[in-house]
A = this chain, B = another copy of it.
Amino acid sequence: MFSKQDSIYYDVLGIGNAIVDVLAKVGEGFLRERNLPKGSMVELEAADAGKIYADLITEREVPGGSAANTVAGLASLGGAPAFIGKIHDDELGQEFARDIGAAGVDFFTQPLNKGPVTGRSIVLVTPDAERSMFTYLGASKYLSAVDVDENLIEASQIIYIEGYLWDNFNAQRAMLRACKLAQKYGRKVAFSLSDSLCVKRHTREFRKLIKRYVDILFCNEDEIKALFEEEDFYKTLDMIKTDVEIAAITRSAKGSVVVNGRVKTFVEAEKVETVVDSTGAGDLYAAGFLYGYTQRRSLGTCAMIGSIVAAEIISHYGARPEVSLRGLVRNKLLSYGKKP
């Protein structure tokens, strides 16, 4: 007989939106002619997204998506991740699948053959270096409970779910099925609050979900304040401690705090010369933290690895690592006198 632990094959199974970030340099006129707002993030309808995309000379297409970024980071660290997310079987979708596979992430979700195209976040960079983002979730919205493979849940030590999924009814059911199966097989559920606006849309539901299912919570200072509708950060730390086993809360330059019952661990942020693009900082912090966790490192070291990895991501464009994170973390830990 196999024991319960013998069936584990993956460190982390990420479940989230499958998005390709399309980076393009455009002139000021491009935005003006199409009446597109500058410098913010806007969710788009299919037709509008398609129209913009068709007109672009793409600079780079880089796979994105919050949980997808996390599992790609985990792979770069030397972990063994898998991913569940919905693409369309179109060019962009094939690119997403190819990229996440090449990064070392197992990805088996059945793509759509009809209906909306693969989700994308069009990032337009104007000559003044400002970024205007236009996100179209597309096929991602069609992730459903049948995509949550029971075998994959059983085979994964941690199921990592992004909060953005809760915005769609189908994805909600996928998420609940994943949580229930995780409990059935004694797997840990990790959950990212994603975005403080997302938390504000679902405050009550998120609190119930977290109490009922979540073992490891990832969020930032704004998100946990939104979750508890409480402005005093230190109070929120005492509020979350009975709801989850571990809460890892990032605070930008102030570092991060890990709450684990009666123990609160404060870890300094890594110094970054120039913050080029903060997209993916939280996703990669989670990757580093979960890598440490699956390696049975102390919570302080988990947070330290998270910070090292987040610092790499924000020092360049895009939310996927540009160096081998495994080597980076090894050298940094050694420089702090820690076992690599």
Contacts and interface: CB of A to CB of B under 8 A. Distances in A.
Contacts of A262: 255, 267-268, 304, 336
A127 interface: no
A304 B298 CA distance: 14
Contact of A299 (B255, B300, B337): B300
Interface string A276-309: 0000000000000000000000111101100000
Contacts of A300: 260, 263, 265, 298-300
A300 B303 CA distance: 14
**Could you tell me the dominant secondary structure of chain A's interface residues?**
mixed
Nearest to A264: B266
A266 B263 contact: yes
A261 B301 CA distance: 11
Contact of A267 (B263, B268, B298, B337): B263
Interface string A247-275: 00000000100001111111110000000
Instruction: Give this chain's copy count.
Output: 2
A254 to B, nearest CB: 12
Contacts of A265: 263-266, 300
Nearest to A245: B337
A258 B255 CA distance: 17
A261 B299 contact: no
Contacts of A301: 263
A267 B262 CA distance: 6
Nearest to A303: B263
Nearest to A255: B262
- Which 6 A-B pairs rank lowest in CB-CB distance, beginning with the nearest? A263-B300, A298-B298, A262-B268, A264-B266, A265-B265, A263-B267
6 contacts: A262-B268, A262-B336, A263-B301, A263-B304, A264-B265, A298-B300
Given A255-B262, A263-B268, 10 more contacts: A261-B337, A262-B268, A262-B336, A263-B300, A263-B303, A263-B304, A264-B265, A266-B266, A298-B298, A300-B300
